[in-house]
Each structure stands twice: as C-alpha cells, then as structure tokens.
Amino acid sequence: MIYSQYLRIESRAGGVFATRRDIIRAARTMLSAYGKSRQARDNRHEWIGEALEYHRQAAHMYRLYIEQRRI
C-alpha cells in the first residue's frame, strides 16, 4: 500500500483517533467487488494489515508529539 492510499483511508475513518475497526471499514469501502471476494482474501488481508501498521505508526508519532509539547 502506498502512503497516499492510507491517508485516504484514514480521512474516511475519522483521522488518527479512528479505531482499528474504523480503519478496516473505511478500507473495505474502497475495494472493488473482486477485492471483497473470497479469491482476493489473502491479498486483502495483507493490504489491510499494511493500513493498520501505518495507522499504528501515525498514532505513535502523534502521542510522541503531544508528550513533547507538555514538557
């Protein structure tokens, strides 16, 4: 997944505060009928996993930024 795809998913899901479930739901709305099919299951899981990893990193960076501002 390219980062711009993740950003579109994140904005649909509600931003960096979105839950994992929100990210998955937003990602599924961007899939074609074939992408939602059983044949594409492994690729879909890998793609959504990459989105969740980007989301984890974004939330971590945001937490670090907030903690740094408190000091």
For tokens 């599924």, name the residue: 28
Mean pLDDT of the region 34-54? 97
Mean pLDDT of the chain: 94
Structural domain total, the chain: 1
51: domain range? 3-70
Please give the distance of CA 16 from its chain centroid, rounded to a whole number.
9
> Which residue carries 């971590």 as its tokens?
60
CA dihedral 43, 2, 5, 42 (to 10 degrees): 10
Query: Nearest 5°: CA angle at 21, between 18 and 23?
Result: 55
Whether the per-residue pLDDT at 71 is higher than 70: the answer is: no
31 sits in which H/E element? none
Look at residue 27 and tell me whether its pLDDT is greater than 70: yes
Among residues of the chain, what percentage have pLDDT more than 70? 99
**What pTM was computed for the model?**
0.87
